[in-house]
Amino acid sequence: MHDTCLICNHRRLDPLKGYEKHHLVRCNSCSFVFSQAIPSSEELEKCYQGYGRNDYLSPITIKRYHELLDKMEPFRKTNKILDVGCGIGYFLEVAKERGWEIYGTEFTDKAVDICERKGIKMQKGVLAVDNYKAEEFDVITSFEVIEHINNPIEELNHFYQLLRKGGLVYVTTPNFNSVLRYRLKENYNVIAYPEHLSYYTPKTIKKVFETTGFQTKKIQSTGISLSRLKSSKGKSNEAPISEHSTDEHLRNQAENKWYMKAAKNVVNSTLTLTGKGDSLKGWFIKK
């Protein structure tokens, strides 16, 4: 069991009422929420062995990747980008098309093999700084990964060592302050031990990055997943990321109808302003 906060090392950890089965505590000092229990390697292996390696890749997601990489162009100097927990390399494939030298990390042999066949320079297992040169990368990305780890300070220290001065870290992670979490509480299926161990808010994701020496460029809080709302309430078993999900249907409407796109932008602006969107998207600069 953890006896101090994973971010600030404060010793007072208050159990989060209603979330006992997920072992959640909140730091009395910095308000970080995390699992006090430490899963065994057997628990983690059982959890992750069911992960698929043929996830649906929406054409809209590819478009979003290009838009994201457009914003990363000003950071391109060494021409190297590292995606920590890169899955089967969808984002890095798009980066490769645009001329980036691409690197990734993943835990399973299968994922590493798939990525290597796509021309991605891979490292298996946890991010190890000894496998790279110091300050080698312009950009480090990590999509929906940091919620899975219970050593965020160590991980971000590794990011700091590998990123050049003035380089960019871009991360996404679920938002513990989201509208859906407040509505669904412990039934919100994002909250899942031992799969997810750390739960960030706009305040605490800013705290953990600034603790490790980064400067916050911006934090966005966007989206409300109707697919996840239905599945959390047991009314559907659709995956949020799938071709025929409610979320994908709405995404297509927002792409093809100007008034839906306008409504989406207003909603996401409001969610970012209030910090209540489902997803956190953070941009951090190495000072």
Domain boundaries, the chain: 56-237+270-286
The pLDDT tens digits of the residues spanning 84-137 come to 999 999 999 999 999 999 999 998 888 999 999 999 999 998 899 999 999 999
| Contact (CB, 8 A) for 129 and 158 | yes
Going by C-alpha positions, the residue among 198, 147, 142, 157 that lies closest to residue 6 is 198
Predicted structure pTM score: 0.94
Q: In the numeric block, which tokens belong to residue 230?
A: 């239905």
What does the pLDDT average to over 186-214?
Answer: 96
What does the pLDDT average to over 11-29?
Answer: 96
The pLDDT-based confidence of 49 (bands split at 50, 70, 90) is low
Residue 40: per-residue pLDDT: 86
Q: What percent of the chain has pLDDT over 90?
A: 87
Listing from the earlier edge strand, what are the strands of the sheet with 137-143?
A: 121-124, 101-106, 80-84, 137-143, 163-174, 279-286, 214-222
Q: Is 71 exposed, middle or buried (0-12, 13-18, 19+ CB in 10 A)?
A: exposed
CATH architecture label of 56-237+270-286: 3-Layer(aba) Sandwich (3.40)
The pLDDT tens digits of the residues spanning 219-265 come to 999 999 999 999 999 888 877 788 889 999 999 999 999 999 999 99
